[in-house]
Amino acid sequence: MDQVRVGMIGYKFMGKAHSHAYRDLPMFFPETPRPVMKAICGRNEAGVNQAAKQFGWEEAVTDWRELVRRDDIDLVDINAPSDAHKEIAIEAAKAGKHLFCEKPLALTLADAREMLEAAEAAGVKHMIGFNYRFAPAVRLAKKLIDEGRLGRIYHFRAVFLQDWILDPDFPLVWRLDKNVAGSGSHGDLGAHLIDMAHYLIGEMTDVVGMSETFIKERPMPSSMTGLSARGSKDAPKGPVTVDDATLFLARFRNGALGSFEATRFAAGHRCTNGFEINGSLGSVQFDFERMNELQVYFTDDAADVQGFRRVLATDPAHAYAEAWWPPGHTIGYEHTFIHETVELMEALRDDREPMPNFRDGVRCQAVLEAVERSVEQKRWVQISEM
Amino acid sequence: MDQVRVGMIGYKFMGKAHSHAYRDLPMFFPETPRPVMKAICGRNEAGVNQAAKQFGWEEAVTDWRELVRRDDIDLVDINAPSDAHKEIAIEAAKAGKHLFCEKPLALTLADAREMLEAAEAAGVKHMIGFNYRFAPAVRLAKKLIDEGRLGRIYHFRAVFLQDWILDPDFPLVWRLDKNVAGSGSHGDLGAHLIDMAHYLIGEMTDVVGMSETFIKERPMPSSMTGLSARGSKDAPKGPVTVDDATLFLARFRNGALGSFEATRFAAGHRCTNGFEINGSLGSVQFDFERMNELQVYFTDDAADVQGFRRVLATDPAHAYAEAWWPPGHTIGYEHTFIHETVELMEALRDDREPMPNFRDGVRCQAVLEAVERSVEQKRWVQISEM
Amino acid sequence: MDQVRVGMIGYKFMGKAHSHAYRDLPMFFPETPRPVMKAICGRNEAGVNQAAKQFGWEEAVTDWRELVRRDDIDLVDINAPSDAHKEIAIEAAKAGKHLFCEKPLALTLADAREMLEAAEAAGVKHMIGFNYRFAPAVRLAKKLIDEGRLGRIYHFRAVFLQDWILDPDFPLVWRLDKNVAGSGSHGDLGAHLIDMAHYLIGEMTDVVGMSETFIKERPMPSSMTGLSARGSKDAPKGPVTVDDATLFLARFRNGALGSFEATRFAAGHRCTNGFEINGSLGSVQFDFERMNELQVYFTDDAADVQGFRRVLATDPAHAYAEAWWPPGHTIGYEHTFIHETVELMEALRDDREPMPNFRDGVRCQAVLEAVERSVEQKRWVQISEM
Amino acid sequence: MDQVRVGMIGYKFMGKAHSHAYRDLPMFFPETPRPVMKAICGRNEAGVNQAAKQFGWEEAVTDWRELVRRDDIDLVDINAPSDAHKEIAIEAAKAGKHLFCEKPLALTLADAREMLEAAEAAGVKHMIGFNYRFAPAVRLAKKLIDEGRLGRIYHFRAVFLQDWILDPDFPLVWRLDKNVAGSGSHGDLGAHLIDMAHYLIGEMTDVVGMSETFIKERPMPSSMTGLSARGSKDAPKGPVTVDDATLFLARFRNGALGSFEATRFAAGHRCTNGFEINGSLGSVQFDFERMNELQVYFTDDAADVQGFRRVLATDPAHAYAEAWWPPGHTIGYEHTFIHETVELMEALRDDREPMPNFRDGVRCQAVLEAVERSVEQKRWVQISEM
């Protein structure tokens, strides 16, 4: 297999990121099977036509049901709004297509499980878009842990801090509507932290959390597209139905303690997706706003030169780095998608499960919902309850 | 009043820090009443004699009961082991002495309350040694909040990370013994975070926490002094009876959300006492390892130059700075004690309550115990229960 | 004009960077004229065929003379080895093609001037590849200066620090051969600093410099491609004929003082292309290893919150940023080439001179050679001598 | 010898810093001979009386000639204005007193040499106050170099950046008057860089520099004390007779290349006294505004975790650190003076030359003047010419 024919549903922010990954992959990873951009699908005909042209798809279509059944499609890429993931994924699986679904897998754990079951029943490959795993600096953290270089893990603390809705007059966009988005900062940002924890540390056993919606009502938007919206601050107001911030504590199966915070009310933080891990032999720190860097500390450094090292993950020793530029020449956000796509293409070629996949989506959803239950019932919740 | 005659009980780490503050104060704050170092008290005669000489006290004594009754003492400074605070403070109050007590005020909330009542009944002034409030950068954070320049506060997140007992063979020092120390990282480090939260944000209403003792047994030490200890890793082992790490979430009365973590198992962190505050108009970040700096962000900066500013709190506009060196010339840990002592001396001169005082000690203890109860009972605990 | 047909000569490191820019441009800058990747040219037929396929060119050719004369080519992109630039550029200009030449324009100032004259005589547009100008953070520095927000400029200090030949056994690659490369760190790295100074500060009047070749001999390589080389440390040695490091001081016409250092012997610096500018109203700092950031200081900030701000140049207020991802989502090295190409395409559409162009190449070369003369003759050299 | 009786001439900024060092030394370095603060001398009787009282001197006097001849004085500490150093030092030496002189040793190289000769002729010990050598982080840099852990040194680049006279209306204080101050940023700030270079790298052989006075005239001050001055911007103006900024390049005897910049026109830099050293095996970076830290890089770190380490020089492995607080508890500017005084007291006890001493003062002066000559004559100057 030297190419994979892709049909993609969705053409906004994530649609653009995925399209770019498909376009760039062959140039930088020529040994990897080549994605063929067959068709892009959206409800708005003019919109999807324009996207197809701009992003480089062979064809634009508006009926996803038709698309997922086409013989010339190997892989269905689902980045439509979250509330549409489930139906599409199940149909596509039934049609025997491999699946690449953006996070969150679904709006509920039950739905996510159905999707996983459908994929497994159909025997298709499935991947979920936790793209932050694919930053080379994150790969380095994983490598250090896997090689035992951090020792026994004691602490994982993670924050995902943004500030884009800090202004109380920012309009009531779809991401603030529970029916469409499922949840707020928790599902949008916290989900990435949870997946990162699963990837780097392992399973959690218990969680306790709290949530808040600081601004309860906002002006209705006059128009919306992707993340942006237009509106007047004098427009009529509607209720914000999702959380502005959610924090939780967790215990991991391996004995580590976890702390998680996701908020859209952290002034000055455009996109601080950060974590720190402390182990018996060392520590690492990551902040997505400096995504090429990993701060690394080892307890066995000589006594007079102990300190966190700023490692720029652009050396040949770092994952994916040799595909790009010489050491010291950094990469950006979009590269996480390219690397993610490399993983997907190679997993399909090698007939193995891509990582992360729907199982990771399900277990992320389980933690998300356990936290929600904890918030509602004001108590510790075991993941095994879910 | 142009001088205050001090009798001090305790002569180890904190005794040294306080002594130094008394010595340095008159040189840098010549307008402030001058502390007179009358007598230092300790149980070990040789030890306290040596300390008196080295630190510059007029006299060394071994009987604290006698000391607190002397006519030539205005202020009793208590930095003996925590389990001795209560009795000394109450006796000194009865003798009409003003009180300066190191944190924690006592080992239990009940004891702390008794101490406060004794001080109030006696009509003496009382102060507690939450020295971190006195870093100029922390003062700046307080000023920005008080002046409304951060707006409505949404988030307070604080960590106190150390790594000095990371080695499992580090001996079982007194700080790891619940009977002497009261608690572990929670009372030692978390207490500072709680006081900082009270100082900067205000009262908490509810907390939920978790604790862990990662290393359950350690070699018994052969000798101990201050923070340091000697021992063989082959020595017989005893149980660690305090927490190695404690985390908790909190809600504040003003609606803000709080996150707290205290641990002695964070490799690479010698003394990261840090916090971040996010408000509707701005944010601040502080890390004690860079104690002269405050990172400050304002939402109303021009759109093209928004970003956290690294403010070096050594300008004339910063608290205490003019007493020291020209801008850009930094100060250190010990200066927090000098500033604390300035506050104490000036409060005595002005016949007002010093800040922070035993009430702050009590409310810190209330949160500490609420968290402990939360950990024990695995539930949210209201501060008002305590 | 809605498209520009490109013929490119060269297919190694820069060829890849340019090709990628042409590919990505239409997706992110759909309003900009679209580059059409007509033909790529190289001497090695297998190599260039492979590159054409991997990079997405319609055709691979081996005769550049033929290429530059083709009717279906509007723009000739020259990123062949530096010693070939001149001949190609002059031929292409004569054929009426617009020119896009990688830096250095030529190996000597005289050659560079000939190239500029040829382009001007032919009335074609010409651009030179000083890509670092196109980082949004650098654009922000330029904007602040142009708007007078830094006031009168007093200082420009710049370093370009690398460490890739620190190992004395690193082989004698082409970049260490004066005949091919023209010069060492000076022409390779220093040229970027000089152009940045011209862009941000203006003309220099006098320079004085010093150079060193720390490792005088190195093993001959067994094979070389792009920046990398293979070799044995036991191979026969040959002389290094270029500078390992060159430093110089400069005076600018506007009264500012400049300091420049380019070296390949700065352990730990993979690609620190950094500068700082101090003006009467503020300062800025840039480091390419954190290319999304500009540190900005203003003297008129409130007295208690003065400090360098870390501005992440990913907001809508920043150049090019809206074409990419939401605020806080960073871009990388390759994006500088995309932006550079946007400038080129738009200049061709608007029938104006692209910036930077061959005049910038010439004045960069003049400073490079003035510094070389200064080093040789151990004296201050006026740029007007050149 | 367990104590040293000190007579000090000068009582402003440096007088205060030295006095504090004498006061604090016995508390933190009880094994070191104790300085006894016998007498402080100044021309203004009221001023020196007040200083004596505030700083803790036994006596205040106004006639330095008398002071330097007293039998009860072992050491004469000279921190009077720079133009008075020479006469005092020579008289004191003749009287058999050990000498501790603030930098600059004198206003000219000839004077400095006379002072050194006088001290040597008298057989007294002599020290010069290059206090920055005594930051533990700087000591660590020295240790790494001395132990060969940075390998062969290629580069030393240093800047001393301040901004306190950036305002053109800042008055014409004594530091801007050549007759009193000798030179401007060059002698005040550059001298520290030169001494640091001598300490860490060794002798220079050749220099070339440039200087500028950006603001040629300033309002005359109405009053002045220490570093501060009062004045009206409408006051009559006088000429600034010293340099605002001086930069120079240098070659070291060991083959390293040096770059130096001292300026008082670097907006945002209160006191950036920083250097970086690049060697064949590693690099270090220091910035006095974060004086507890040294950034350290080693080429032999594992390939996947190479990066600058932020070493907090507060561990037991670091010079002077054990005398202070536990790891992570930082020290400040004034501690450099305490450590300097420890060196002085111990050298006197051990009957050895303190480091740095007048020889260091002389060789610093030689470089300062070589640079001045280079600026005047617009040429490279050999240090051996001086």
pLDDT value at C100 more than 90: yes
Helices (H), D11-131: 13-28, 45-55, 64-67, 85-94, 109-122
DSSP assignment, residue A357?
A: -
Q: What is the mean pLDDT of chain D?
A: 96
- Residue of C67, C77, C91, C82 whose CA lies nearest to C354: C77
Provide the pLDDT for residue A337: 98
Number of residues that make up chain C: 386
Lookup: tokens for A356? 């992360």
Inter-chain touch B162–D331, beta carbons under 8 Å: no
CA B224 – CA B238 distance, rounded (Å)? 15
What band does C227 get if pLDDT is binned at 50, 70 and 90?
A: low
**Residue A227 predicted with pLDDT over 90:** no
Helices assigned H by DSSP within D123-206: 136-146, 178-181, 185, 191-200
Q: Average per-residue pLDDT in chain B? A: 96
Virtual torsion, Cα A111, A117, A121, A123, nearest 10 deg: 100
- Identify the CA nearest to A186 among candidates A266, A260, A252: A260
Residues of B near C (Cβ–Cβ under 8 Å) read 140, 143-144, 296, 298, 301, 303-312, 315-318
CB contact under 8 A, C27 and A23: yes
* CA–CA gap between residue C87 and residue B146 (Å, rounded): 69
pLDDT above 80: residue B224: no
Asked whether the predicted pLDDT for residue A226 surpasses 60, the reply is: no
pTM: 0.97
pLDDT at position A109: 97
Contact D309 A305 (CB under 8 A): yes
Provide the shortest C-alpha distance from residue B306 to chain A (in Å): 8
* Cβ contact, residue pair B304, C298, below 8 Å: no
The residue-averaged pLDDT of C278-284 equals 98
- From chain B, the residues in CB contact with C140 under 8 A are 304-305
When pLDDT is averaged across residues C152-175 and rounded to a whole number, the result is: 96
Of the candidates D340, C169, A378, which has an alpha carbon nearest to the alpha carbon of residue B380? Answer: A378
How far A6 CA sits from the closest chain B CA (Å)? 39
The per-residue pLDDT of chain C, averaged, comes to 96
B298 CB neighbours in chain C (<8 A) are 305
* pLDDT tens-place string over residues C13-47: 999 999 999 999 999 999 999 999 999 999 999 99
Q: Which residues of B make CB contacts under 8 Å with A? A: 154-155, 157, 159, 161, 163, 166, 168, 208-210, 212, 214, 245, 247-249, 251, 255, 257, 259, 261, 263, 265-269, 276, 278-283, 297, 299, 306-308, 378-380
Q: Which of B41, C331, B330, B381 is closest to A325 using CA atoms?
A: C331
CA-based nearest residue to D280, from B291, C264, A134? C264
Q: Is pLDDT larger for residue B229 or for residue C343? A: C343
Provide, rounded to the nearest whole percent, the portion of chain D with pLDDT above 70. Answer: 98
From the list C375, C383, C22, C77, the residue with the least C-alpha distance to C213 is C375
pLDDT band at residue A232 using 50, 70 and 90 as cut-offs: confident
Element (H, E) at D352: none
Q: What is the pLDDT of residue C145?
A: 98
What tokens does B370 get?
A: 């609420």
A210-246 residues labelled b (16+ CB within 10 A) or e (exposed): bbbbbbeebbebeeeeeeebebeeeeeeeebbbbbbb
**Pairing relationship of beta strands C293-298 and C217-219 according to DSSP bridges:** unpaired
Q: If pLDDT is split at 50, 70 and 90, which confidence band does A17 have?
A: very high
Instruction: Report the share of chain D in percent with pLDDT over 90.
Output: 94
Would you call D317 and A303 a contact, using CB atoms and an 8 Å cutoff?
yes
Residue D361's pLDDT is 98
Cα dihedral: B225, B228, B232, B237 (round 10): 80
Q: How far apart are CA C208 and CA D186, in angstroms?
A: 19
Residue B376 has a CB neighbour count (10 Å cut-off) of 11
D69-88 mean pLDDT = 96
Compute the half-sphere exposure of residue A314: CA atoms within 13 Å on the CB side of its CA: 25
One DSSP character per residue, A190-250 reads IHHHHHHHHHHT--EEEEEEEEE-S--EEEPPSEEETTEEE--TTSPEEE--S-SEEEEEE
Report ipTM (2 d.p.).
Answer: 0.96
pLDDT of res. A180: 86
Using CB atoms, which residue from A301, A304, A308 is nearest to D143? Answer: A304
Percent of chain A predicted with pLDDT > 70: 98
Could you tell me if residue A151 is left (phi over 0), alpha (psi between -120 and 50 degrees) or otherwise beta?
left
Q: Do A378 and B378 touch (CB under 8 A)?
A: no
A161-165, A232-236, D278-282: range with lowest mean pLDDT: A232-236
Instruction: Find, in chain A, the residue whose alpha carbon is nearest to that of D314.
Output: A304
pLDDT above 90 covers a percentage of chain B that reads 94
Chain D residues with CB-CB distance to B288 below 8 A = 328
Burial D239-250 (b: 16+ CB within 10 A, else e): ebbbbbbbbbbb
Record: contact B311-C298, CB cut-off 8 A: no
Closest C-alpha among B210, B182, B249, B174 to residue B12: B174
- What secondary structure letter does DSSP report for A176? G
Chain C interface, best mutation among D144, D145, D149, D157, by max C CB count within 10 A: D157
d(CA B280, CA B296): 13
- Both tokens of A174, joined, read 């779809």
Q: Measured between beta carbons, which residues in chain C are less than 8 angstroms from residue B144? A: 305
Distance from CA of C235 to the nearest CA of B (A): 43
pLDDT at residue B50 is higher than 90:
yes
Give the three-class secondary structure for A45: helix
The chain A residue lying nearest C290, using CA atoms, is: A290
Neighbour count for residue A70 (Cβ, 10 Å):
17
Range list of β-strands (E), B184-281: 204-212, 217-219, 223-225, 228-230, 237-239, 245-252, 257-263, 272-279
Evaluate if residue B228 carries a pLDDT over 70: no
Which chain A residues contact residue D307 at CB under 8 A? Answer: 296, 309-312
Are C328 and A269 a contacting pair at CB < 8 A?
yes
Asked whether C97 and C76 are in contact (CB, 8 A), the reply is yes
Rounded-to-5 percentages of helix, strand, coil across chain B: 40, 25, 35
Q: Sign (positive/negative) of CA torsion A52, A58, A64, A68?
A: negative
Q: Evaluate if residue B226 carries a pLDDT over 60.
A: no
Residues in CB range of B269: below 8 A, 6 or more apart? A278, A283, B161, B162, B163, B289, D328
What's the Rg (C-alpha) of chain B?
21
Query: Using CA atoms, how far apart are residues B104 and B362, in angstroms rounded to an integer?
Result: 9
Pairwise CA distance, residues C90 & C87, whole Å = 5
pLDDT at D226 (0 to 100) = 56
Contact flag C303-B296 (C-beta cutoff 8 Å)? no
Q: Which pLDDT score is estimated for B189?
A: 97
Say how many residues make up chain D.
Answer: 386
- Output the pLDDT for position C385: 95
**Is C208–D210 a contact, with Cβ atoms under 8 angstroms apart?**
yes
Contacts of A142 in chain D (CB under 8 A): none
φ, ψ dihedrals at D300, nearest 5°: -95, 15
Query: Is pLDDT at A103 greater than 90 in this prediction?
Result: yes
A233 band by pLDDT with thresholds 50, 70 and 90: confident
In angstroms, what separates the C-alpha of B12 from chain A's closest C-alpha? Answer: 26
For A138-176, the pLDDT digits (tens) are 999 999 999 999 999 999 999 999 999 999 999 999 899
* B208 contacts A249? CB cut-off 8 A: yes
Residue carrying structure tokens 């409030």? B133
CB-nearest partner of B251 from A210, A249, A380: A210
Residue D182: band (very low, low, confident or very high) from pLDDT cuts 50, 70, 90 = confident
CB within 8 Å of A299: residues ≥ 6 apart: A151, A280, A281, A282, A306, B163, B166, B267, B268
Q: If DSSP codes are grouped into helix, strand and coil, which group holds residue B128?
A: strand
pLDDT (0 to 100) of residue D230: 67
Measured between CA atoms, how close is C55 to chain A, in angstroms?
5
Rounded Cα–Cα distance for residues A331 and C335 (Å): 9
CB C121 within 8 A of CB C223: no
Tokens 């009940």 label which residue? B110
- Average pLDDT of the residues of chain A: 96
Q: Cα-Cα-Cα-Cα dihedral of B185, B188, B190, B196, to 10°?
A: -160
CB contact under 8 A, B265 and A155: yes
D250 φ, ψ (degrees, to nearest 5): -145, 150
D8 - beta bridge partners?
D40, D77
Query: Cα separation of C50 and C56, whole Å?
Result: 10
**CB contact (8 A) between residue C333 and residue A333:** no
CB A256 within 8 A of CB A279: no
Q: Which residue segments constitute the domains of chain B, with CATH numbers given?
A: 3-132 (3.40.50.720), 136-290+292-331+364-377 (3.30.360.10)
**Nearest residue of chain B to residue A379 (CA atoms):** B379
Give contacts of D286 with chain A, Cβ < 8 Å.
none
Q: What is the mean pLDDT of residues D283-296?
A: 98
